[in-house]
């Protein structure tokens, strides 16, 4: 049976305070977790596995607050491709790349405020968003449409707007992934990315959005598990005193960013950290480097893991590896954020719902190019929608549906849908896969839906075959539209949110039911 730690055991409570685990469950948190919240643990992370509906989520967070009224409840709710509130049906707001393509900071602020309003209504008070990464490497497998764009000034102004909108609803923003995860083609979930840029480039490009977000009052910054040799040749950012305790915390007058808020780590069990240092040592090194809150999020934690990590921190203090004052400072920063969120919850901002803001934004983001002059001729008969699906990265997850197939089926009776993956192209070859799609389409309109076509040879080759056989093929790109347009009509949505799919379907059919708005999370 879990025992409650006496209040006098400051070291133990400080060690628990910096741990931010996840758990399995939807309506009640495990008894061990509630006990550890009473013992001094300050917060948890929630993922799609914890979400069924808005009402259920509010019930779950209320249950957590019974154990600790100022508990930090954090999620990855970026909007767009990375959603937890809408994990089962697709996001009701577009993501960063769509907002950046519109380039209206007021719109971004409104969308972020709506995300904040929904989170606050569900009892969530920290959002691990926005991504302030500049997507400077087209082959980036983990950022892509999660970035506002490729130009530092654009990314900076939309990062600021997002932070302002989100925090206006009383939800703390957590700008990520410091010092910038955009200039790499390696996913830190699986390996350690290395970013070989000089300090001048880093300050002028990667750091500009973070600098702007800190000036705008972002409550939190999340570290990245990336190696930047110009800053530290040996340790990734999350474990580097030069990156966290130095660059991020150092005063502006000394060349730093002067951040005085809470530093979260990215999920500490990601292979870029745990694969090299192990989970326990990774936690110790992160706090020693300057991190305050340790996200433990890939798989649900259990009590044994939390206690093992608590003890690793305590033993590191006792051995002299981790200064006790550094651990206490980290714990105090986490508690301070808890107090801020509790105050914000007790005095909620007047944040009225902006009906349909997500669909409005998605419609504005759609870009259409035509192989011939003249207006787009709407599809008026049945279509065949062939979705060419890349493997989803871990941040996005496999469970969230995407693509305009369902909406086109509703708007164009008789429409059929097929889904294809890289394994299908390996089995049949791109030409063979194209033949299968063409046979399924028959006389119907052909709509090929892709996601980051430029990064997937099998996808690009299959589309080329389809267009060669059917020049009237409509291509819908729902990732980064980096490749040149193909097909009679090429439509870019800049993201795969549900509202992006709806906006694409409306554009292709000419159907614009302005009286309809995207449904909320099913309840």
Distant-in-sequence, close-in-space partners of 40: CB < 8 Å, separation ≥ 6: 5, 12, 13, 14, 16, 17
Residue 266 appears among annotated catalytic residues: yes
Range(s) within the chain of domains with CATH label 3.20.20.300 = 14-346
Range(s) within the chain of domains with CATH label 3.40.50 = 367-492
295-319 pLDDT, tens digit each? 997 778 899 999 999 999 999 999 9
Q: Among 36-40, 152-156, 277-281, 448-452, which is the least confidently predicted range?
A: 277-281
Where are the strands (E) in 62-171, listed by range?
A: 72-75, 126-127
> What is the arithmetic mean of pLDDT over 362-370?
95
Helix (H) or strand (E) holding 446: strand 445-450
Interatomic CA distance for residues 405 and 167, integer angstroms: 35
Catalytic pick among 266, 292, 424, 452 = 266
Pick the residue with more confidence: 70 or 190?
70
Q: Is the peptide bond before 351 cis (omega within 30 degrees of 0)?
A: no
DSSP string, 376-415: PPPP-S-EEEEEEPPPPPTTT-SSS--SSHHHHHHHSTT-
Interatomic CA distance for residues 428 and 460, integer angstroms: 15
DSSP code, position 204: I
The answer, yes or no, to whether residue 8 has pLDDT greater than 80, is no
Fold of 367-492: Rossmann fold (3.40.50)
Residue 158 appears among annotated catalytic residues: no
Interatomic CA distance for residues 73 and 64, integer angstroms: 9
The answer, yes or no, to whether residue 518 has pLDDT greater than 60, is no
382-401 pLDDT, tens digit each? 999 999 999 876 667 667 89
Interatomic CA distance for residues 236 and 231, integer angstroms: 9
Distant-in-sequence, close-in-space partners of 8: CB < 8 Å, separation ≥ 6: none
User: Are the beta carbons of 135 and 93 closer than 8 angstroms?
Assistant: no
The answer, yes or no, to whether residue 136 has pLDDT greater than 90, is no
DSSP code, position 166: H
The answer, yes or no, to whether residue 516 has pLDDT greater than 90, is no
* pTM, 2 dp: 0.93
334-364 pLDDT, tens digit each? 999 999 999 998 887 766 677 799 999 999 9
Catalytic pick among 97, 189, 384, 420 = 189
The answer, yes or no, to whether residue 260 has pLDDT greater than 50, is yes
Q: Give the distance between the most distant pair of CA atoms in the chain.
A: 76
487-501 pLDDT, tens digit each? 889 999 999 999 999
The architecture CATH gives domain 14-346: Alpha-Beta Barrel (3.20)
DSSP string, 80-95: TTB-STTTTT--SS--
The answer, yes or no, to whether residue 57 has pLDDT greater than 70, is yes
For residue 2, give Cα distances in angstroms to 27, 80, 234, 299: 21, 40, 39, 22
Tokens 């290395």 -> residue? 194
**Percentage of the chain exceeding pLDDT 70:** 93
């Amino acid at each position: 049976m879990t025992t409650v730690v006496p209040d006098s055991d400051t070291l133990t409570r400080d060690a628990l305070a910096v741990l931010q685990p996840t758990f399995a469950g939807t309506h009640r948190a495990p008894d061990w977790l509630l006990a550890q919240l009473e013992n001094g643990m300050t917060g948890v992370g929630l993922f799609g596995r914890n979400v069924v509906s808005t009402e259920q989520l509010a019930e779950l967070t209320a249950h957590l607050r019974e154990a600790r009224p100022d508990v930090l409840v954090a999620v990855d709710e970026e909007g767009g491709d990375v959603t937890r509130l809408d994990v089962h049906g697709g996001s009701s707001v577009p993501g960063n790349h769509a907002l950046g393509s519109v380039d209206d900071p007021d719109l971004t602020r409104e969308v972020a405020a709506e995300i904040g309003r929904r989170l606050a209504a569900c009892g969530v008070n920290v959002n691990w968003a926005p991504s302030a990464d500049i997507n400077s490497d087209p082959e980036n497998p983990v950022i892509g449409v999660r970035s506002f764009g490729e130009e530092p000034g654009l990314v900076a102004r939309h990062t600021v707007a997002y932070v302002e909108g989100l925090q206006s609803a009383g939800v703390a923003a957590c700008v990520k992934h410091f010092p910038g995860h955009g200039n790499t083609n390696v996913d830190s979930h699986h390996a350690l990315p290395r970013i070989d840029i000089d300090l001048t480039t880093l300050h002028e490009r990667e750091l500009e959005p973070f600098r702007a977000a800190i000036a705008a009052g972002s409550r939190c910054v999340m570290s990245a598990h990336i190696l930047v040799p110009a800053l530290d040749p040996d340790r990734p950012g999350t474990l580097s005193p030069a990156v966290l305790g130095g660059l991020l915390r150092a005063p502006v007058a000394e060349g730093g960013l002067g951040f005085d808020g809470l530093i979260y780590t990215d999920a500490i069990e990601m292979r870029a950290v745990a694969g090299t240092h192990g989970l326990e040592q990774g936690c110790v090194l992160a706090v020693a480097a300057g991190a305050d809150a340790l996200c433990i999020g890939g798989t649900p934690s259990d009590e044994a893991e939390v206690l093992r990590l608590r003890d690793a921190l305590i033993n590191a203090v006792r051995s002299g590896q981790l200064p006790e004052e550094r651990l206490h400072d980290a714990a105090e920063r986490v508690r301070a954020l808890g107090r801020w969120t509790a105050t914000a919850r007790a005095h909620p901002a007047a944040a009225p719902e902006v009906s349909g803001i997500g669909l409005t934004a998605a419609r504005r983001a759609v870009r259409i190019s035509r192989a011939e002059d003249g207006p787009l001729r709407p599809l008026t008969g049945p279509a065949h929608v062939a979705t060419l699906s890349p493997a989803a990265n871990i941040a996005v997850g496999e469970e969230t549906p995407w693509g305009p197939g369902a909406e086109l089926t509703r708007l164009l009776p008789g429409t059929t849908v097929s889904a294809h993956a890289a394994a299908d192209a390996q089995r049949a070859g791109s030409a063979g896969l194209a033949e299968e799609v063409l046979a399924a389409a028959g006389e119907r309109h052909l709509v090929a839906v892709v996601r980051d076509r430029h990064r997937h040879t099998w996808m690009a080759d299959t589309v080329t075959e389809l267009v060669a056989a059917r020049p009237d093929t409509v291509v819908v790109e729902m990732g980064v539209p980096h490749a040149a347009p193909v097909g009679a009509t090429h439509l870019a949505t800049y993201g795969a949110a549900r509202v992006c799919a709806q906006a694409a379907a409306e554009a292709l059919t000419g159907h614009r039911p302005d009286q309809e708005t995207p449904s909320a999370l099913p309840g």
